[in-house]
Amino acid sequence: MRRKVTKLLPLIPAAIILASLIFPPGCANTTTPPSGGPKDTIPPYITKVYPLPGTVNVPVKGTKLRFTFNEYVKIKDANLVFLSPPLEKKPKAVIKGKSVEVSFESPLDSNTTYTLDLTGAIQDNNEGNMFPGYTLVFSTGSQIDSMCLTGLVQDCNTLNPLNGITVMLYKDHSDSAVFLKRPVAAAKTDAWGFFSIRNIQDTLYRVYAVKDENNNNIYDPDADRIAFMDSLFRPKTVYNDSLYELMKFDMKDTALCLARKTDMELNLFREKPSKQFIVKKERVGPRTAYITFMAPDAVIHDMRIRGLSRDKLISQFNLQRDSLELWVNDQRKMPDTLQLVIKYDKTDSTGRAVPTEENVKLTYSKELRAELMKKENDFRNRKKEDTLAVMTTEADGTKIEQTGFVIEFKYPLIKEGWDSLRFWSVNPRQQEQKGKFSLIKDSTNLRRFRVMPEETFMPGYDYHLKIPHRVFRDINGFYNDSTELKVSLPNDEKLSSITLKLTNVHEKYIIDILNEKRNSVIRSAISDKDGDVVFPYLKAGTYCIRITEDKNRNNIVDTGILLEHKQPEKVRFFKTEDKFLIKVLEKAEMMWTIDMEEMFR
């Protein structure tokens, strides 16, 4: 043991000497900032630890750990004073002079190896310099466990690393353990999503990662997100002080942090809620309302508005089938309260989904009622859109070849005059040519339509779509105003394109061009066969290419289900030169071949 301590503390005398050189005796008081001189940028360091690292037979009751620093420090985040395996109550840390003292409100377990980690929890008292971190290992038994593992936790959709996630190991391999018990070992991820769990037993574990919202070290599916390994894991690495992956790094040092190797990658997702019931209802207009369900894939058996025939009710689910829009197709004045009678599969007290009839009152909020009364009584200030079938239109030259002219109405239509629309092109010599188009109704939004010209778009041509007056009528009885859309292909010679040549396509894939931060979709396409996917008219910049394997072909990214051992649908980012980020220069025509079978293997 004496040799081990000597090995851990050789740098302390050198650090003390260095500190004395940088800070002369006249400036040694760390409780009062010096009146001049350079700003202190050196983080605090530990000068003494009790008990010593590797101490065995530590008492299970009344144990206190003490970490003494070279200067006065403060606790920045008490939640990051992290004990593994965790107790029912988290450790209590207090400042005593230049020391941080950690105690426990409940007894430690017997014959157990513990690690206490301070990474991210401590900073100096004056300048806020962060202490890089330290992990103390001790045992309440006669030996120290010797194995360790490392890994990465990332978001299942963006693959961005996640900070502050609790990674948990269980020797109990039952599916219920993560719901009911605390883990036998745990660790928190750092700013790079990296985690290391050291000094654990050589045995088989279930591995989970949880965004533990209430810090109880137990998975709560209604509040937490989770990731899991498909199979049991047995650590292969024996801990030693020289392991690169277990060293403490400055989180701003990208190269050092990314060089750490990992044993596993875990993709964090939010499960579908296990209980189904109506959680929200709102009346948003005289003939419009919506209801929201707790869980997706709501099953409705029957639905009606009291006092109206069933055919007067128009409804539409969102893609996830957890939000339902409602419209009343009746132009009579509606009462302040609409009585919705809905029969749907609702979770009962035993956890089963059973058909249940429920009465839902759809009432105006005070603000909406006041707004409607004002419109009704103030004819002079009535806006134009208050008497028209409101619609929004989109004609984007960079996407027109893929999407066509997009038209969306605010309310469902009861009269559609698509044959009255006129489409034509104007060539560079100002000659007009009548064109044909087809109509595509959006399968997920009954108020959204795409007018797709049948001819090939040409550079230098202008394309026009005329929507005449009074050819559409909505459920309010209002007709549309006339409008004309004009679009042309971009003529900016600086624009670029990306072409992906897909091979070995055996599934349906959602392909997205994302911005540099991966938080916004620039372009999107869907493919289920070999061939080219083209993204034209891209501005110079930095992008990412995300490809999602749409196994059930529903055009959305489905989440995982823990108890069914179902992972979220696979997401991959296309790499060039081993980098996710793709730099697109001006006037570039970029092309890559992607073997989809290889990418998702």
* Structure confidence by residue, pLDDT tens digits, 449-479: 999 999 999 999 999 999 999 999 999 999 9
- 19 pLDDT higher than 60: no
- Contacts of residue 224, Cβ cutoff 8 Å, sequence gap at least 6: 210, 211, 212, 213
- 9 pLDDT higher than 60: no
Calpha distance 183→226 (Å, rounded): 14
- 512 pLDDT higher than 70: yes
Which domains are delineated in the chain? 2-139 (2.60.40.1220), 147-268 (2.60.40.1120), 278-372 (2.60.40.1220), 386-488 (2.60.40.1220), 496-599 (2.60.40.10)
Calpha distance 544→519 (Å, rounded): 10
- Do residues 315 and 399 make contact, with C-beta atoms less than 8 angstroms apart? no
Lowest mean pLDDT among 17-26, 116-125, 271-280: 17-26
Calpha distance 379→348 (Å, rounded): 50
> What pLDDT sits at residue 437?
97
Sign of CA dihedral 30, 33, 38, 39: positive
> What pLDDT sits at residue 37?
57
- 590 pLDDT higher than 90: yes
Calpha distance 131→77 (Å, rounded): 12
> What pLDDT sits at residue 127?
86
> What pLDDT sits at residue 373?
82
Q: What b/e readout covers 179-211, taking b as 16+ CB neighbours within 10 angstroms?
A: eeebbbbbbbbbebbbbbbbbbbeeebbbbbbb
Q: What b/e readout covers 331-363, taking b as 16+ CB neighbours within 10 angstroms?
A: eeebeeebebebebbbbeeeeeeeeeeeeeebb
In this prediction, residues 554-580 reach a mean pLDDT of 90
- Do residues 44 and 131 make contact, with C-beta atoms less than 8 angstroms apart? yes
> What pLDDT sits at residue 251?
85
Higher pLDDT, 235 or 372: 235
Confidence of residue 355 (pLDDT cuts 50, 70, 90): very high
Confidence of residue 379 (pLDDT cuts 50, 70, 90): low
Q: What is the pLDDT of residues 188-234, one digit of tens each?
A: 999 999 999 999 999 999 999 999 998 899 999 988 999 999 999 99
- 539 pLDDT higher than 90: yes
> What pLDDT sits at residue 519?
87
Q: 541-550 and 508-514: which strand pairing?
A: antiparallel
| 3-state DSSP assignment of residue 12 | helix
Confidence of residue 279 (pLDDT cuts 50, 70, 90): very high
Structure tokens at 368: 């909406």
- 10 pLDDT higher than 70: no
State the pTM of this model: 0.76
The mean pLDDT value of the chain amounts to: 90
Structure tokens at 386: 């208050």
> What pLDDT sits at residue 13?
39
> What pLDDT sits at residue 36?
53
- Nearest Cα to Cα of residue 552 among 530, 574, 570: 570
> What pLDDT sits at residue 18?
36
> What pLDDT sits at residue 190?
93
Q: What distances in angstroms separate CA 379 from CA 286, 384, 475, 525, one per listed residue?
A: 17, 11, 21, 47
Q: What distances in angstroms separate CA 407 from CA 83, 219, 338, 386, 508, one per listed residue?
A: 57, 45, 30, 19, 27
- Nearest Cα to Cα of residue 414 among 486, 344, 472: 472
With residues binned 3-state (H G I as helix, E B as strand, rest as coil), the percentages for the chain, rounded to 5, are 10, 40, 50
Calpha distance 58→107 (Å, rounded): 11
Confidence of residue 289 (pLDDT cuts 50, 70, 90): very high
- What are the start-end ranges of the H helices in 378-488? 400-403
> What pLDDT sits at residue 374?
79
Q: What is the pLDDT of residues 474-504, one digit of tens each?
A: 999 999 999 999 999 998 889 999 999 999 9
Confidence of residue 11 (pLDDT cuts 50, 70, 90): very low
Specify burial of residue 47 (Cβ count, 10 A radius: 0-12, 13-18, 19+): middle
Q: What is the pLDDT of residues 549-562, one digit of tens each?
A: 999 888 888 899 99
Structure tokens at 523: 């372009």
Number of residues in the chain: 601
- Do residues 397 and 489 make contact, with C-beta atoms less than 8 angstroms apart? yes
- 40 pLDDT higher than 50: yes
Give one DSSP letter per residue of 521-558, joined into a string: EEEEEEE-SSEEEEEEEEPSEEEEEEEEEETT-SSS--
- 34 pLDDT higher than 70: no
Structure tokens at 286: 């005289």
Confidence of residue 38 (pLDDT cuts 50, 70, 90): low
> What pLDDT sits at residue 376?
74
Residue type at 305? I
Confidence of residue 93 (pLDDT cuts 50, 70, 90): very high
